[in-house]
């Protein structure tokens, strides 16, 4: 009985199952592909921008919404960063403008949804096309490469104690988002809104402002991801970032962030993003063509949604199990039956 109770509690904790699967898949690829360990640093460095997008997507999903624009907003933020750098602006200002681009689109998304009542799917689909279109126009109007800044390059290719700088940057941002979600009033309100917007509103929570905040956070993380992406690539092309939104959303859902809202964490989203990235890297090393990775991500998303439903069923089963245990009368002393 103790084991069953422990099992129910462990599996129903957001992020625990995917962390377990991540450990298993890493062990599997280490056994099947001897050079897997040698590639870990490189592929995680390449994955950092997508991991930030995954956490941003998770925040919005926990709040009961969806943000489809994060991929192309990330690409546009990268383009703005490279354009301003190539134009001779100071590196710090260029980075700030790149992040601000993401924040602006987050504000735009939130404003369209909360002030005009536009469905989040439609609003973010529109801004996906707007930001993607702006990057195409920008890339055709000017060359988005050739910026020479040692500090900017060091954002990804620098290191402390042998660990890439981007790890520290992304780690600090993700830890901050984890703290915000789990330890602040805003975080508690995001979860309350995701569980039931109507109930949150009745409880006195300004649902519109909280929803706006989730999209601003998502947009800002997309801006940060764009800056790191530009630093890694050293140049930006049209259509950069298109499709990243699907990988990010899939990573969040696989990590245990419920599409119904109200459940998840930044750490769980990080685990889901790492799982999909590790799976793609391992398959590539085995010899699977990259064109099949989209199929893998799609299957992972479907499995993640089904798993989420099963977790909810387990949670309900756990509640009934706990109720039955509490309802049992205490054994009398000397009763061995």
pLDDT at 213: 98
pLDDT at 317: 59
Task: Tell the burial category of 237 from Cβ atoms under 10 Å away from its Cβ (0-12, 13-18, 19+).
Answer: middle
What's the pLDDT tens digit per position in 46-61?
Answer: 999 999 999 999 999 9
Task: Tell the burial category of 242 from Cβ atoms under 10 Å away from its Cβ (0-12, 13-18, 19+).
Answer: middle
Please tell me the distance from the alpha carbon of residue 308 to that of residue 275, in angstroms, as a whole number. Answer: 16
What's the pLDDT tens digit per position in 141-157?
Answer: 888 887 778 899 999 98
pLDDT grade for 298, boundaries at 50, 70 and 90: confident
Predicted TM-score (pTM) of the model is 0.88
pLDDT grade for 287, boundaries at 50, 70 and 90: confident
Q: What 3-state class would DSSP assign to 117? A: coil
Question: How does strand 163-164 pair with strand 159-160?
Answer: antiparallel
Please tell me the distance from the alpha carbon of residue 120 to that of residue 214, in angstroms, as a whole number. Answer: 12
Q: DSSP per residue over 27-93, as a string?
A: HHHHHH-TTHHHHHHHHHHHHHHHHHHHHHHHHHHHTT-----HHHHHHHHHHHHHHHHHTT--HHH
Please tell me the distance from the alpha carbon of residue 17 to that of residue 275, in angstroms, as a whole number. Answer: 11
pLDDT at 337: 46
Fold of 48-310: ABC transporter involved in vitamin B12 uptake, BtuC (1.10.3470)
Residue with tokens 């330890």: 183
pLDDT surpasses 90 at 129? yes
Q: Among 137-141, 153-157, 286-290, name the one with the lowest average pLDDT.
A: 286-290
Please tell me the distance from the alpha carbon of residue 241 to that of residue 291, in angstroms, as a whole number. Answer: 17
């Amino acid at each position: 009985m103790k084991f069953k109770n422990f099992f129910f509690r462990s599996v129903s904790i957001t992020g625990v199952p995917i962390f377990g699967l991540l450990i298993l898949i890493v062990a599997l690829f280490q056994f099947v592909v001897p050079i897997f360990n040698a590639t870990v640093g490189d592929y995680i460095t390449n994955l950092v921008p997508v991991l930030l997008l995954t956490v941003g997507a998770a925040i919005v999903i926990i709040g009961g919404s969806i943000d489809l624009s994060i991929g192309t907003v990330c690409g546009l933020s990268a383009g703005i960063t490279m354009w301003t750098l190539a134009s001779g602006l100071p590196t710090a200002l260029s980075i700030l403008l790149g992040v601000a681009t993401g924040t602006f689109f987050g504000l735009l998304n939130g404003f369209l949804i909360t002030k005009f009542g536009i469905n989040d799917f439609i609003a973010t689909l529109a801004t996906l096309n707007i930001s993607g279109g702006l990057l195409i126009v920008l890339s055709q109007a000017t060359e988005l490469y050739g910026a020479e800044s040692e500090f900017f390059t060091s954002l990804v290719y620098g290191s402390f104690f042998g660990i890439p700088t981007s790890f520290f940057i992304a780690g600090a941002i993700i830890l901050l988002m984890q703290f915000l979600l789990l330890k602040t009033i805003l975080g508690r309100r995001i979860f309350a809104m995701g569980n039931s917007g109507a109930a949150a509103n009745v409880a006195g929570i300004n649902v519109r402002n909280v929803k706006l905040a989730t999209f601003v956070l998502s947009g800002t993380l997309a801006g940060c991801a764009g800056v790191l992406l530009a630093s890694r690539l050293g140049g930006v092309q049209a259509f950069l970032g298109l499709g990243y939104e699907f990988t990010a959303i899939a990573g969040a859902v696989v990590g245990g962030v419920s599409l119904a809202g109200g459940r998840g964490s930044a750490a769980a989203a990080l685990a889901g993003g790492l799982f999909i990235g590790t799976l793609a890297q391992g398959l590539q090393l085995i010899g699977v063509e990259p064109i099949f990775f989209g199929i893998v991500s799609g299957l992972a998303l479907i499995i993640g949604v089904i798993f989420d439903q099963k977790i909810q069923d387990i949670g309900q089963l756990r509640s009934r199990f706990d109720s039955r245990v509490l309802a049992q009368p205490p054994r009398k002393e000397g009763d061995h039956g």
